[in-house]
């Protein structure tokens, strides 16, 4: 099974400042078609998860452009260019290359300073 390791486990960010979350995979997530099958989700307090990024760098519908995904192979990054109070939550990466099983990272908790 593919193991995803996220870092940091938590981070506190001043509003308006950038934030960056890393997701490292135990195996390459590049398919033979060239796409990297890595998604990002956020789970805001008391809510269901919501899709932010799919195929490593594609923003889901309605996701603000301050969110961006990058990376290839085994190293991926989610960046928030300017953190807002509403961005508080736990961020998860998920691999969708080798399924089943589908696997999630352990999560990164984002808080506001």
Question: 92: which 2 tokens?
Answer: 């998860």
Contact 51, 41 (CB under 8 A): yes
Q: Is 48 in the site for other proteins (CB under 8 A)?
A: yes
Scanning 15-23, 30-38, 64-72, 81-89 for contacts with other proteins by CB under 8 A, the matching segment is: 30-38
Q: Is 24 in the site for other proteins (CB under 8 A)?
A: no
**CB burial class (10 A; 0-12, 13-18, 19+) of residue 15?**
exposed
Q: Which residues bind other proteins (CB under 8 A)?
A: 31, 35, 37, 39, 41, 43, 48-51, 54-55, 60-61, 90, 92, 94, 96-107
């Amino acid at each position: 099974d593919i193991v995803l390791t996220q870092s940091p486990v938590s981070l506190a960010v001043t509003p308006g400042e950038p934030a960056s979350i890393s997701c490292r995979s135990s195996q390459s997530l590049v398919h033979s078609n060239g796409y990297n099958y890595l998604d990002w989700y956020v789970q805001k307090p008391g809510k269901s998860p919501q899709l932010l990024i799919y195929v490593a760098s594609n923003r889901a519908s309605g996701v603000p452009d301050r969110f961006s995904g990058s990376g290839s192979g085994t190293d991926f990054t989610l960046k928030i260019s300017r953190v807002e109070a509403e961005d508080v939550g736990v961020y998860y990466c998920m691999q969708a290359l080798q399924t089943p099983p589908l696997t999630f990272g352990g999560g990164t908790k984002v808080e506001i300073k």
